């Protein structure tokens, strides 16, 4: 979470002083990573530069977007504690264009930090193939193995921004700024020592096929 702020404004009018103090609930959120995906082999973090990533088998499209081949493309970002939300709210967002949906029962990992086996929790955006097309899924699991997810169908072969937001009591999936699904469930602290992977699980599976342009992680 960003540093808790306290501010005070003083308004003098006819000898009257007004003092306003922000409560802890009003603490600012902080963009911890902002990847514009405009160069390889380094995926530069535009939110301070301390979460740069390394691209493998990722190429630039003629229009300047990251191209994932669905076979071996992956981006890895080393672990940094500032990408762990703990008990704070977190928003994970990505803009992409899926070349073809995963097969029914298969999945693409889009952004993830940790896996279902990570004892201290994990989070991810995932695309799941269905008999009729594709679902986007926001999945958050805490250190006590409590899982909350929001899932909704999305189209392929079109640009769209997927936003996954976790608060203390809800997980919300939005597409192009429109909320598609909200799940009410309390998920506790998430804090692992695993890096972030974009475009796959990191072990050669669940690899993404399509274009990606801009991703971010905001905490607080």
* CATH number of the domain enclosing 135: 2.60.120.200
Q: How confident is the model at residue 200 (pLDDT cuts 50, 70, 90)?
A: very high
* Cα–Cα dist 88/109, whole Å: 23
pLDDT for residue 151: 98
Instruction: Using the predicted structure, report yes or no on whether residue 96 has a pLDDT greater than 70.
Output: yes
Residue that has been written with the tokens 């926001």 in this structure: 138
Distance (Å, whole) CA 116 – CA 192: 12
Q: How confident is the model at residue 10 (pLDDT cuts 50, 70, 90)?
A: very low
- Kindly tell me if the per-residue pLDDT of 27 is higher than 60: no
Confidence of residue 133 (pLDDT cuts 50, 70, 90): very high
The residue-averaged pLDDT of 96-120 equals 95
* Structure confidence at residue 28 as a pLDDT band (50, 70, 90): confident
Look at residue 7 and tell me if it is in a domain.
Answer: no
Rounded average pLDDT over 39-68? 96
Residue 100's pLDDT band (cuts 50, 70, 90): confident
Q: For residue 167, give its domain range.
A: 28-219
In a domain, 21, yes or no: no
3-state secondary structure 183-212: EECCCCCECCCCCEEECCCCCCCCCCEEEE
Residue 90 placed within a domain: yes
Residue 8: inside a domain, yes or no? no
Per-residue pLDDT tens over the stretch 159-178? 999 999 999 999 999 999 99
Residue 17 in any domain: the answer is: no
CA-CA-CA-CA dihedral for 51, 54, 59, 64, to nearest 10: 20
Q: Which residue has the higher pLDDT, 141 or 17?
A: 141
Residue 16 counted as domain residue: no
Residue 166 CA to residue 123 CA, distance in Å, equals: 10
Among 9-18, 25-34, 164-173, name the most confident range.
Answer: 164-173
H or E element at residue 18:
strand 16-19
User: 73 lies in a domain?
Assistant: yes
Average pLDDT over the chain reads 89
Strands 107-113 and 90-98: unpaired
What pLDDT sits at residue 49?
A: 79
Q: Kindly indicate the confidence band of residue 62, based on its pLDDT and cuts at 50, 70 and 90.
A: very high
In a domain, 162, yes or no: yes
> Residue 53 in contact with residue 43, Cβ under 8 Å?
yes
pLDDT at 4 over 50: no
- Indicate if the pLDDT at residue 25 is higher than 80: no
Residue 82's SS3 state is helix
Residue 2: the pLDDT is 36
d(CA 167, CA 171): 7
Distances (CA, A) of 81 to 19, 25, 70, 107, 117: 36, 22, 29, 27, 19
Domain total in the chain: 1
Cα 59 versus chain centre, distance: 22
Task: Tell me the longest C-alpha to C-alpha distance in the chain.
Answer: 71
């Amino acid at each position: 979470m960003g540093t808790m702020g306290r501010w005070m404004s003083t308004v003098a009018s006819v000898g009257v002083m007004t003092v306003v103090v922000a409560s802890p609930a009003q603490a600012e959120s902080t963009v911890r990573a902002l990847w514009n995906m405009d160069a390889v082999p380094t995926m530069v973090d535009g939110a301070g530069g301390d979460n740069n990533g390394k691209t493998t088998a990722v190429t630039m499209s003629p229009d300047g977007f990251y191209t994932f081949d669905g076979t071996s493309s992956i981006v890895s970002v080393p672990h940094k504690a500032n990408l762990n939300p703990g008990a704070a709210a977190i928003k994970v967002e990505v803009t992409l264009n899926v070349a073809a949906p995963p097969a029914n029962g298969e999945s693409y990992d889009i952004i993830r930090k940790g896996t279902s086996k990570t004892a201290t929790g994990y989070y991810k955006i995932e695309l799941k193939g269905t008999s009729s097309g594709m679902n986007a899924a926001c999945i958050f699991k805490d250190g006590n193995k409590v899982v909350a997810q929001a899932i909704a169908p999305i189209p392929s072969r079109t640009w769209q921004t997927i936003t996954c937001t976790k608060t203390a009591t809800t997980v919300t999936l939005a597409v192009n700024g429109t909320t598609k699904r909200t799940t009410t469930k309390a998920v506790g602290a998430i804090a692992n020592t695993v890096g972030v992977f974009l475009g796959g699980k990191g072990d050669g599976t669940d690899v993404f096929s399509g274009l990606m342009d801009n991703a971010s992680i905001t905490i607080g």
